Amino acid sequence: MTSNSSSSLWYRLAFVPLMAGLLSMTFLLGYASNDIWPDREAIARRAAYTIPYLDAADLGVFSETPPADTTRISDPVADYRAAIALIRRGYYGTGHDTRKLTYEAIRGMLATLRDPFTSFMEPEEWERMEAETKGDFEGIGAYLTAEGHDVKIAEPIENSPAEKAGLRPDDIVISVNGKSVAGKTVDEVVKLIKGKPGSRVHLGILRGKQHLMFTITRARVITPVVKYAMEDPEARIGYIALKQFNERSMDQLTRALEDLKLRGARGLILDLRDNPGGLLEVAVQVASVFVPRDEVPELRNTVVFIKEGNGQETRKTLRSDLYMLDRLPLVVLVDGGSASASEIVTATIKDYGVGTIVGQRTYGKGRVQTLFPLEDNSALRLTTATYYPPRHTDINFKTDEEGNRIPDTGGIVPDIEVKPVPGWKGLKDRKNDAQLQKALAVLRERLTSTSTLQIPAGQR
């Protein structure tokens, strides 16, 4: 009995550390297994993105990079640590936490690369960007904007709770759930309004002189990235505007095209103006919708060549299963705001000769960014590769020695250059949209000349 109970005690005593050891071993093995046997999904999460934004960095005025002293060998980590320590020990002011200082240091370091597309995103920005590339978010479905000290509704999203409740552009938000939003920034107000689908939010709204109350049930809102219409019902010319290349783009684009074809579209306008880009993979898919395989043999179905920093070049090719255009006459509208993924699609359509490009020189961004999520939920967006269209032309704009863009360099030059006319008030103003009108004219002419040739007698 005694020997038995003591051995059981030993057994128990040894059991705990043994188990703990075993479990941590397996944990570490699991952790490490990613290196040998990578988690495909995790890799997908780190997939390459092309830049979806043109922001203030593009003005090129923030890049104030001090010259370096090349006679010294530098260890940026040591300098960073010394500076953090110096600020903590010797700086008069207070309230500067290490995390914020570190983020600033990272931004400063990235600025020296003089690459307008490389940036650092704090956790909140990264979260927002993830939502944008996914194309949906949880909330009421309205874009907010700041104007002076007010936070306003810029635009309710179609079919969103906000639109159904009757929110209108220019409504001023004055309270959320009974609390005043005076002095709050747009981001803070957005945070207050967002929440779990199914929950409710009370908004106090000022519309003109009217004070209104809205109770809105939040939902999962899908941001529309496609707008489409039968632009010219007589000539049956369809119009599709693609705003961004995100995870919803293909879905919405193919549905729009399907619908236009059902309604008998005989020609199509693809509007990529002010489309800043998005996911590279989606660009390849969108190009595949418009360009059939084996159209130009020597281009070997290439959509894009991607050249990594180390000189390695890979190729992405057209997908046969996605082609939908059925050889309808196609005009692509572009302007200086068409960048990145938009330029990939435009260049592919141009290089394979399946459409006419109308508008203005595109932005000129032939760089691919990779998003690296970092351990504290911030993220690094780093330019890691250059891409080239099917005919391998360099579309990057050139910069002078101060890093400023040289005008009229890079980008894709349209087949027919059309500038917007003064007084044009944006996409909703169809009549004054000189580029759109030109696209329609081009297609009408094509349709009248080809219809007489192609439509066999007896079908009419």
Partner 1 sequence: MRPRRRPEGPVLLLVLACAVSFFWGRHLGSRVTRPRIPGLPVLHRMLSADAEGAVGDGEFVGTGAGAVAPQAIFEDVLDKVQREFVETTSDTARLSNGALARMFASLDDPRTLFLDPPLRRARQEALMGRYQGIGATLAITRSQKEDVAYRHLSIVAVLPGSPAEKAGLKPGDRLTEIDGRWIIAYSVAADISRLQAQKDLDALQRRENLRQIAQKFQNGLPIHRALSQLMIGQGRSMRLTVQRTGVPHPLQVTLTTAATQLSPVGFRTLDGQIGYLRIAQFNRETGRTLTGLLDRMDRKMKGLVIDLRANPGGVRSEDLDEVDGVEPARALLARLTPGGKVALIERKPARKQPFVVPRVARPLSLPMVVLVDRGTAGLSELVAAALRDTAGARIVGTRTFGDGILPLFAVFKNGSGVEMTTARLFTIRGDDLAQGIKPDITVTEEAGQDAPLRRALALLET
Q: Which residues are designated catalytic? A: 340, 351, 365
430 binds partner 1 (CB under 8 A): no
Q: Helix, strand or coil for residue 75?
A: coil
Least distance to partner 1 from the beta carbon of 350, Å?
A: 25
Q: Which of 6, 13, 14, 79 binds partner 1 (CB under 8 A)?
A: 79
> Which tokens hold the place of 305?
């060549």
31 binds partner 1 (CB under 8 A): yes
SS (H, E, C) 365-426: CCEEEEEEECCCCCEEEEEEEEEECCCCCCCCCCECCCCCECCCCCCCCCCEECCCCCCCCC
Least distance to partner 1 from the beta carbon of 79, Å?
A: 4
Least distance to partner 1 from the beta carbon of 46, Å?
A: 7
182 binds partner 1 (CB under 8 A): no
Cβ distance to partner 1 smaller for residue 80 or 323? 80
Q: How far from 27 is each of 17, 30, 37, CA to CA, in Å?
A: 15, 5, 15
Q: Are strands 142-147 and 150-156 parallel, antiparallel or unpaired?
A: antiparallel
Residue 96 DSSP code? -
Q: Which of 14, 87, 406, 455 binds partner 1 (CB under 8 A)?
A: 87
Least distance to partner 1 from the beta carbon of 444, Å?
A: 26
275 binds partner 1 (CB under 8 A): no
Nearest residue to 316 via CA among 354, 285, 278, 343: 285
Least distance to partner 1 from the beta carbon of 61, Å?
A: 4
434 binds partner 1 (CB under 8 A): no
Question: Which residues between 294 and 313 bind partner 1 (CB under 8 A)?
Answer: 308-309
Radius of gyration of the chain (CA): 28
| Binding footprint of partner 1, residue count (CB under 8 A) | 101
107 binds partner 1 (CB under 8 A): yes
The total of other beta-carbon atoms located within 10 Å of residue 193's CB is 21
**Class of residue 10 by CB neighbours under 10 A (exposed 0-12, middle 13-18, buried 19+):** exposed
Please tell me the distance from the alpha carbon of residue 102 to that of residue 80, in angstroms, as a whole number: 8
Q: Which of 9, 13, 47, 83 binds partner 1 (CB under 8 A)?
A: 83
Backbone angles phi, psi at 59, to 5 degrees: -70, -15
Cβ distance to partner 1 smaller for residue 322 or 380? 380
41 binds partner 1 (CB under 8 A): yes
375 binds partner 1 (CB under 8 A): yes
Question: Which residues between 386 and 425 bind partner 1 (CB under 8 A)?
Answer: 386, 402, 404, 420, 422-425
Strand order in the sheet with 226-232: 226-232, 237-242, 267-271, 330-334, 356-359, 416-417
The total of other beta-carbon atoms located within 10 Å of residue 388's CB is 20
Q: Which stretch binds partner 1 (CB under 8 A): 100-108, 161-169, 226-234, 292-300?
A: 100-108
Least distance to partner 1 from the beta carbon of 227, Å?
A: 18
Q: Which stretch binds partner 1 (CB under 8 A): 136-144, 158-166, 242-250, 366-374?
A: 366-374
Cβ distance to partner 1 smaller for residue 42 or 212? 42
Residue 245 DSSP code? B
Q: Provide the angle, in degrees to the nearest 10, between the axes of the packed helices 249-262 and 280-290.
A: 20
Q: How far from 226 is each of 95, 223, 244, CA to CA, in Å?
A: 45, 9, 8
Q: Which stretch binds partner 1 (CB under 8 A): 319-327, 354-362, 378-386, 408-416?
A: 378-386
The total of other beta-carbon atoms located within 10 Å of residue 140's CB is 26
In the chain, the N- to C-terminal Cα span, in Å, equals: 104
Nearest residue to 62 via CA among 104, 102, 103, 116: 116
Question: Which residues between 226 and 245 bind partner 1 (CB under 8 A)?
Answer: none
Question: Which residues between 131 and 150 bind partner 1 (CB under 8 A)?
Answer: 147-148
Q: Which stretch binds partner 1 (CB under 8 A): 20-28, 184-192, 220-228, 257-265?
A: 20-28
Least distance to partner 1 from the beta carbon of 4, Å?
A: 10
Residue 58 DSSP code? G
What is the x/- site pattern for partner 1, positions 59-78, by CB under 8 A?
Answer: xxxx-xxxxxxxxxxxxxxx
Q: Which of 206, 380, 413, 416 binds partner 1 (CB under 8 A)?
A: 380
Q: Which of 2, 3, 94, 210 binds partner 1 (CB under 8 A)?
A: 94
